[in-house]
Amino acid sequence: MADVIYGIVTEVIDGDTFKVKVYYQSANNKAKYGDNETVRIANIDAPEIPSAAGLRAKVHLENKLKGRNVRLEIQARDTYGRLVCKVRLA
């Protein structure tokens, strides 16, 4: 079973990455997570910011997630220290 945390999206970095303020960690989690984490959405590869498509992807993700409560099912931590997660609105 994957670790699960809940948080509020505080900032969108690009079309597949955002920052979250963690307010709940499942007691069954195998690891501990910080109060603030950077999350990369699993199985998504959005265009990079310098392109017009990348800017549109960022704005779209901001409209969907910024300020919202999310449930994060953690799959891994990548080489940049980001959590790679399945994301659902809480």
**DSSP track, 23-88:** EEE-TT-SS---SEEEEEETT--PPPTTSHHHHHHHHHHHHHHTT-EEEEEEEEE-TTSPEEEEEE
Q: Supply the pTM of this predicted model.
A: 0.95
For the chain of 90 residues, list the mean pLDDT of each consecutive stretch of 10.
Answer: 95 97 96 97 94 96 98 97 97
- The residues spanned by each domain of the chain are 3-89
Q: What is the pLDDT of residue 1?
A: 79
Q: What is the pLDDT of residue 77?
A: 97
Q: Does domain 3-89 bear CATH number 3.65.10.10?
A: no
